């Protein structure tokens, strides 16, 4: 066996970053402190009580009374897969609305598990047209209608009310991806009659990546219980996992104890701030950021009424090198933003204002840093970005 020198490996010390990309977002010190608490057994009475509290706080954030509300022990993509594998069986018809990368991932999962996919393609960078969904629904007998609420690849937000009505009128379950929106804008699960939803910890919840909150309505649970065949994923079989998160406390897998500590604390911070106050904070900082971006002479990708407040897609000016700008922001200012995905690779920057990262000082820091980097690139940014953002804050009082 080859010997290694353990002293040759560096200490973990990435340095401070201002995370203003599509995720992860900055993590509050209280959450990091909770993450570092002593690890105990996943059936320890103290941890079981912590699980109960975590579920209560998650229900508050999802604005639901759903009993089956819990964090799946994996990242947001596992939450997506968990929802589909539990609700869809081979041959089931599933309508999926696609207006970005994450809608295409839904489609991939549906076909992999043997579902019959009815795909509704919309323009990337725009909200999904409910009329297109209704047309697709009328062409089949769907078991599930699925949509991405907040498309992280483009910054487009699709309103859910009308699509929910369309899904239920057809007797289908309504499944929603709220990975980027949950914790940053209103996602009232019960009021919108959402049957299954999933999110991730690393966006507006401002917890390290590693858990995926999910919630299932009573109708979704009935569909799970009426399955003709076992769920194709043993690990993500919520019929078994709920017995661990429910009163039975039946062992299924070893839960990530410290990550549960962390999400509990992140959810507690959200509850302390108040949902409406938190949502208003995201809207205000978004408006200020956009005002500064546009004052600089740059343009947003998504039309104003369809934009997300927490994920801002900015068109890259002609002649400006995408990778070089992002590298300079990271190297010179320790600010991380994201590049475009799919058809927008190299064409947009994705600027996040999520959770703990969504702060006034970060808006100003980013605008000043971007203006400096763009000047070095030879782009003549118009002056007045900081003044434009300041005017938005002043008008808000």
Q: What is the pLDDT of residues 125-154, one digit of tens each?
A: 999 999 999 999 999 999 999 999 999 999
Long-range contacts of 11-15 (CB under 8 A, 24+ apart): 15/334
Selecting from 2.60.120.40, 3.40.309.10, 3.40.50.1950, 3.90.1150.10, what CATH number does the domain 275-396 have? 3.90.1150.10
Mean pLDDT of 68-79: 97
Cα separation, 86 vs 221, in Å, equals 9
What's the predicted TM-score (pTM) here? Answer: 0.96
pLDDT band at 84 (very low <50, low <70, confident <90, very high): very high
How far separated are the first and last CA of the chain, in Å rounded?
A: 67
Residue 193 has a pLDDT of 98
Mean pLDDT of 64-71: 98
Q: What values do phi and psi take at 47, rounded to 5?
A: -70, -35
Q: What is the pLDDT of residues 346-392, one digit of tens each?
A: 999 999 999 999 999 999 999 999 999 999 999 999 999 999 999 99
Domains 29-271 and 275-396 share a fold: no
Cα separation, 239 vs 328, in Å, equals 48
pLDDT band at 75 (very low <50, low <70, confident <90, very high): very high
pLDDT band at 2 (very low <50, low <70, confident <90, very high): confident
Cα separation, 281 vs 1, in Å, equals 56
pLDDT at 1 over 90: no
pLDDT at 64 over 90: yes
Q: What integer best gives the mean pLDDT of the chain?
A: 97
pLDDT at 248 over 90: no
pLDDT band at 51 (very low <50, low <70, confident <90, very high): very high
pLDDT at 243 over 90: yes
Per-residue DSSP letter, 25: P
- List the chain domain ranges: 29-271, 275-396
Q: Check: CATH 3.40.640.10 for 29-271?
A: yes
């Amino acid at each position: 066996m080859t010997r290694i020198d353990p002293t040759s490996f560096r200490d973990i010390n990435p340095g401070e970053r201002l995370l203003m990309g599509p995720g992860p977002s900055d993590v509050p010190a209280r959450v990091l402190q909770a993450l570092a608490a002593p690890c105990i057994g996943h059936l320890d009475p103290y941890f079981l009580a912590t699980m109960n509290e975590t579920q209560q706080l998650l229900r508050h954030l999802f604005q639901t009374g759903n009993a089956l509300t819990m964090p799946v022990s994996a990242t947001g993509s596992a939450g997506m897969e968990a929802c589909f594998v539990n609700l869809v069986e081979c041959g089931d018809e599933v309508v999926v609305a696609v207006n970005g990368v994450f809608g295409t991932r839904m489609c991939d999962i549906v076909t992999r598990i043997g579902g019959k996919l009815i795909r509704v393609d919309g323009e990337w960078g725009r909200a999904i047209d409910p009329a297109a969904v209704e047309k697709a629904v009328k062409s089949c007998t769907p078991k599930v209608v699925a949509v991405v609420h907040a498309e992280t690849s483009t910054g487009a937000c699709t309103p859910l009310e009308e699509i929910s009505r369309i899904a239920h009128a057809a007797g289908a379950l309504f499944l929603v991806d709220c990975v980027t929106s949950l914790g940053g804008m209103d996602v009232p699960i019960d009021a919108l009659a959402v049957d299954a939803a999933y999110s991730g910890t690393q966006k507006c919840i401002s917890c390290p990546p590693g858990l995926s909150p999910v919630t299932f309505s009573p109708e979704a649970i009935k569909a799970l219980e009426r399955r003709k065949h076992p769920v194709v994923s043993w690990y993500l079989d919520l019929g078994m996992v709920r017995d661990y998160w429910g009163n039975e406390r039946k062992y299924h897998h070893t839960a990530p104890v410290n990550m549960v500590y962390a999400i509990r604390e992140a959810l507690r911070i959200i509850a302390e701030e108040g949902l409406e106050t938190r949502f208003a904070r995201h809207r205000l900082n978004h408006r200020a950021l956009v005002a500064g971006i546009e004052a600089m002479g740059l343009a947003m990708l998504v039309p104003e009424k369809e934009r997300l407040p927490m994920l801002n897609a900015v068109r890259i000016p002609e002649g400006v090198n995408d990778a070089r700008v992002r590298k300079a922001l990271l190297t010179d200012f320790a600010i991380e933003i994201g590049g475009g995905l799919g058809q927008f690779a190299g064409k947009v920057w994705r600027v996040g204002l999520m959770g703990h990262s969504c702060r006034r000082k970060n808006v100003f820091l980013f605008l000043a840093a971007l203006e400096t980097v763009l000047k070095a690139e030879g782009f003549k940014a118009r002056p007045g970005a900081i003044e434009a953002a300041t005017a938005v804050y002043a008008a808000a009082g």
